[in-house]
Copies of this chain bind each other. A is one copy, B any other.
Amino acid sequence: MQRAAALVRRGCSPRTPGPWGRSRSSAAAEAPAVLKVRPERGRRERILTLESMNPQVKAVEYAVRGPIVLKAGEIELELQRGIKKPFTEVIRANIGDAQAMGQQPITFLRQVMALCTYPNLLDSPSFPEDAKKRARRILQACGGNSLGSYSASQGVNCIREDVAAYITRRDGGVPADPDNIYLTTGASDGITTILKILVSGDGKSRTGVMISVPQYPLYSAVISELDAIQVNYYLDEENCWALNVNELRRAVREAKDHCDPKVLCIINPGNPTGQVQSRKCIEDVIHFAWEEKLFLLADEVYQDNVYSPDCRFHSFKKVLYEMGPEYSSNVELASFHSTSKGYMGECGYRGGYMEVINLHPEIKGQLVKLLSVRLCPPVSGQAAMDIVVNPPVPGEESFEQFSREKESVLGDLARKAKLTEDLFNQVPGIHCNPLQGSMYAFPRVFIPPKAVEAAQAHKMAPDMFYCMKLLEETGICVVPGSGFGQREGTYHFRMTILPPVEKLKTVLQKVKDFHVKFLEKYA
């Protein structure tokens, strides 16, 4: 097992990468020095330059919307202008954006949202009574009965109550307190906010934040921005990307030389890796956090996206309570959910919530204060979150249609997860772990040494080079593994399984053909 040299990477690095990080040409990154010497004609030197800007922001990297996505946009424009390509459309499999891939919104959710938006519709016979009931309840809790008023900074009261009721049901009766629920602008906002409060210290007392590798790059980006220390723990690719507590121990032990590890972030089901953690694993992680006095962040936005018949979603909260009072009254936990994933895929509304456990009452005050600076999360997103946690129940008018739509989306995703795994594993030089959950495949690809050399000549990471070629030759846009982190010398990409089944089959066939040709070319 190769151990990467930089186990602990400083958030703020002395490199000056391009805006999207290390995969960009370093020549571009050095432009400000040139500009200084040769200012544009008639223009004074600018105040805000790459040299003068916030170095922590400069250090931020975010691959999911990085250079490959910019390139995809350029290619789309070229196609629109009639420029001939070996393909007719760009397929954006880089981001978990279900509705952009043709998934239809859940009717009930949109009915309630429309009623809240334009309450005249409450008199319309074309809307079901259960949708009207929910819309009235939400509006009654809004200032002036309008989605256009600010809500409390923590979110609309009755929606926080609905979230708490949902969590209690989900966790088989483990109680949830609306006071511990904070509605957020997507899950990203909650994660950023709690990390912002957690980070402190200088030198060796700087806060270490443990994140999985591969990880979702929001975490590394926020760690950079906050000038905290990123502490990597590696998921076990040989073992379906499982989390091994011995690896956590290794990581925390080594990190203590450099920083003060204070936070442990877990993504379950995994992104980009798609594994679903076993109950035993979660128990081990909680025990480890308790032992090492780590604040736990559980990113559970894919809690509805579990496909493997052998897997079940267990929330960290539930397991924490089942482990007894020593844990449930001591371990500090924040968990996150969102309207963007699951079966609803309402990314654009930016709805989400965070539940905090064992947060010090004074820190809760600090949290509300910090949230109040931004006034409130979008109230339409809060309303969307309410429908996610408070869907139609048996006996209600919309129950049947709602259930049918939900099952259809989740059933399709399960089929596509299996299909993707099977097809990738038929390609020589590609290995793909089972997609137990979430929305992504993260296959490992063999990149021949000659291709690695070619990538170096283009000043690109080898997997960026691979993904750029894939995009240019097939129109398929995926994200290089280097954007999520991977063991040195291994290469991956992340691809969503969101295209409709027939299109996904075509995509997979095209990736296969591309890969075979790529291996031949660089043999």
A interface vs B, CB < 8 Å? Answer: 18-20, 31-32, 35, 42-44, 46-50, 52-55, 57-58, 60-62, 64-66, 92, 95, 97-103, 105, 110-111, 113-114, 117-118, 121, 124, 126, 142-144, 146-151, 153, 185-186, 188-189, 192, 196-200, 217-218, 221-222, 225-226, 262, 293-295, 325, 329-330, 332, 344-350, 358-360, 362-363, 365-366, 368-370, 372-381
Given the known inter-chain contacts A65-B153, A374-B188, A375-B186, please indicate yes or no for A358 contacting B46, CB distance below 8 A. Answer: yes
25 interchain pairs (CB within 8 A)? A19-B368, A20-B369, A31-B362, A35-B360, A42-B329, A44-B293, A44-B330, A46-B332, A47-B295, A47-B332, A50-B362, A50-B363, A53-B198, A54-B198, A54-B200, A57-B366, A58-B366, A97-B149, A99-B143, A103-B144, A151-B348, A196-B225, A348-B378, A349-B379, A349-B380
Which chain B residue shows the least CB distance to A226? B54
**A76, B118: Cα distance in complex, Å:** 28
Closest CB-CB distance, A457 to chain B, in whole Å? Answer: 24
Given the known inter-chain contacts A48-B295, A148-B347, A374-B188, please indicate yes or no for A19 contacting B365, CB distance below 8 A. Answer: yes
Contact A150 B200 (CB under 8 A): no
Copies in the complex: 2
Contact of A18 among B44, B92, B363, B365 (CB under 8 A): B365
Extra pairs beyond A46-B332, A53-B198, A54-B199 (16, CB < 8 Å): A31-B362, A43-B329, A47-B332, A50-B366, A65-B372, A95-B150, A113-B118, A114-B114, A121-B121, A185-B378, A186-B375, A188-B374, A218-B373, A347-B376, A348-B380, A350-B376
**A113, B147: Cα distance in complex, Å:** 11
Which chain B residue shows the least CB distance to A359? B48
Interface of A, secondary structure class, is loop
Which chain B residue shows the least CB distance to A289? B47
Closest CB-CB distance, A163 to chain B, in whole Å? Answer: 18
A62 contacts across to B, CB distance below 8 A = 369, 372-373
**A348, B384: Cα distance in complex, Å:** 13
Contact A99 B48 (CB under 8 A): no
Which chain B residue shows the least CB distance to A362? B50
A32 contacts across to B, CB distance below 8 A = 360, 362
A151 contacts across to B, CB distance below 8 A = 348
A-B pairs with the 4 shortest C-beta distances? A100-B143, A348-B379, A114-B118, A65-B372
A153 contacts across to B, CB distance below 8 A = 65
A35, A55, A200, A221: most-surrounded residue (chain B CB, <10 A): A200
Which chain B residue shows the least CB distance to A366? B19
Contact of A378 among B143, B358, B381 (CB under 8 A): B381
**A126, B123: Cα distance in complex, Å:** 12
**A44, B330: Cα distance in complex, Å:** 6
**A36, B65: Cα distance in complex, Å:** 44
Which chain B residue shows the least CB distance to A344? B148
Contact A363 B150 (CB under 8 A): no
A54 contacts across to B, CB distance below 8 A = 196-200, 226
Contact B117 A121 (CB under 8 A): no
A200 contacts across to B, CB distance below 8 A = 52-55
A42, A370, A373: most-surrounded residue (chain B CB, <10 A): A373
Contact of A360 among B46, B98, B101, B121 (CB under 8 A): B46
Contact A149 B50 (CB under 8 A): no
Contact B373 A105 (CB under 8 A): no
A117 contacts across to B, CB distance below 8 A = 110, 113-114, 117
**A523, B147: Cα distance in complex, Å:** 46
